[in-house]
């Protein structure tokens, strides 16, 4: 009988992954997803390192924007950089919300894009056409196994240093993404896609596995930049998936369109 253990996301989890070759059973950690930007959304993610080197990712979230796609990623670094979930102090422009650009400095660059099908690299970070969609009650369920051959080097050994972030908020509580609350997403514009609400790209939940010291300043910031911003090289890698954001623009347009007169 295969033994499977689920461990809470405590510092002791580091010991589990310190000697990955010695593990003869699937090992899991749970990540508690807490709301960002006062979304009220919460969830639980389970990351399971299987005995054949694959990574199983399972997420259940509540309170998400209903009937809307939610980009989600594993963030962080395997290079010893200290990333963590942001608090309100990350709101550099003072608009009351932590944007994607502001959050990246705290939780690090995309490590794995948690798409439902196809590519899972950073290039698919904005591929909302392949991201999970919350149901009409705002519940989101996700499950996918990433083969060992497709995992970035060091994933299993440094699982304790990685975080999960889900995007897509409803700042004005009208049950959808629109421009009325926060205007246009500057992050989407930075990768060449216009007409995307900031609500669609701002982070909604974040959860840390373990190991990152909340409240400390990331050493070096985003792994591809200097910590001052998401640099052009980093942003450029999102551009490949940027076209998928057009689906949100179409969705917003349809919701704005008045009903046809009969």
Each residue of 38-72: pLDDT tens digit?
Answer: 999 999 999 999 999 999 999 999 999 999 999 99
Mean pLDDT of the chain: 79
Burial class for 11, CB neighbours closer than 10 Å (0-12, 13-18, 19+):
exposed
d(CA 205, CA 86): 10
pLDDT for residue 252: 53
State the pLDDT at residue 81. 82
Does pLDDT of 199 surpass 50?
A: yes
User: What whole-number distance in Å separates Cα of residue 23 and Cα of residue 10?
Assistant: 19
Closest CA to 33 of 212, 205, 211: 205
Per-residue confidence (pLDDT) for residue 50, from 0 to 100: 95
What is the C-alpha to C-alpha distance for residues 188 and 261, in angstroms, rounded to an integer?
Answer: 34
pLDDT band, very low/low/confident/very high, at 251 (cuts 50, 70, 90):
low
- Position 210 confidence tier, pLDDT thresholds 50, 70, 90: low
Tell me: pLDDT of 18 over 50: no
Sorted by where each starts, the structural domains of the chain and their CATH numbers stand as 4-253 (2.60.40.200)
Reported confidence tier of residue 213, pLDDT bands at 50, 70, 90: very low
- CA 68 – CA 248 distance, rounded (Å): 9
Contacts of 49 (CB under 8 A, 6+ apart): 17, 20, 23, 26, 27, 28, 55, 156, 159
Please state, for a pLDDT cut of 70, what percent of the chain lies above it.
70
pLDDT, residue 42, reads 98
Q: For 81-101, write each residue's pLDDT tens digit.
A: 888 899 999 999 999 999 999
180 falls in which pLDDT band (50, 70, 90)? very high
The residues near 130 (Cβ < 8 Å, ≥ 6 apart) are 115, 116, 117, 118, 124, 244
Geometric angle at alpha carbon 190, from 185 and 193, rounded to 5°: 70
Q: For a pLDDT cut of 90, what percent of the chain falls above it?
A: 56
pTM for this predicted structure: 0.78
Whether residue 150 is predicted with pLDDT greater than 60 in this model: the reply is yes
Whole-number pLDDT of residue 249? 54
Q: How far apart are CA 112 and CA 119, in angstroms?
A: 10
C-alpha closest to that of 83 among 162, 13, 158: 162
Q: How far apart are CA 86 and CA 53, in angstroms?
A: 30
**Under a CB-based contact definition with an 8 Å cutoff, are residues 162 and 57 in contact?**
no
pLDDT band at 209 (very low <50, low <70, confident <90, very high): confident
């Amino acid at each position: 009988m295969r033994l499977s253990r689920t461990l809470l996301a405590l510092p002791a989890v580091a010991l589990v992954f310190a000697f990955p070759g010695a593990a003869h059973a699937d090992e899991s950690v749970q990540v508690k997803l807490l709301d960002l930007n006062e979304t009220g959304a919460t969830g639980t993610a389970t990351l399971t390192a299987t005995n054949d080197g694959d990574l199983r990712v399972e997420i259940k979230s509540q309170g998400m924007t209903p009937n809307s796609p939610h980009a989600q990623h594993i963030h962080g670094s395997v290079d010893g950089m200290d990333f963590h979930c942001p608090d309100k102090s990350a709101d550099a422009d003072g608009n009351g919300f932590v944007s994607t650009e502001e959050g990246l400095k705290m939780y690090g660059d995309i490590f794995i894009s948690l798409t439902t099908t196809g590519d899972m690299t950073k290039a698919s970070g904005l591929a909302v056409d392949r991201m999970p969609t919350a149901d009409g009650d705002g519940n989101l369920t996700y499950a996918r196994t990433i083969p060992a051959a497709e995992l970035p080097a060091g994933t299993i050994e440094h699982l304790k240093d990685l975080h999960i972030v889900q995007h897509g908020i409803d700042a004005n509580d009208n049950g959808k993404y629109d421009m009325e609350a926060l205007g246009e997403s500057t992050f989407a514009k930075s990768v060449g896609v216009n007409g995307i609400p900031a609500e669609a790209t701002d982070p909604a939940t974040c959860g840390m596995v373990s190991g990152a010291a909340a409240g400390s300043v990331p050493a070096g910031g985003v792994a591809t930049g200097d910590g001052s911003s998401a640099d052009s090289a980093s942003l450029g890698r999102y551009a490949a998936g940027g076209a998928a954001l057009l689906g949100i623009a179409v969705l917003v347009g349809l919701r704005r369109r008045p009903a046809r007169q009969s």
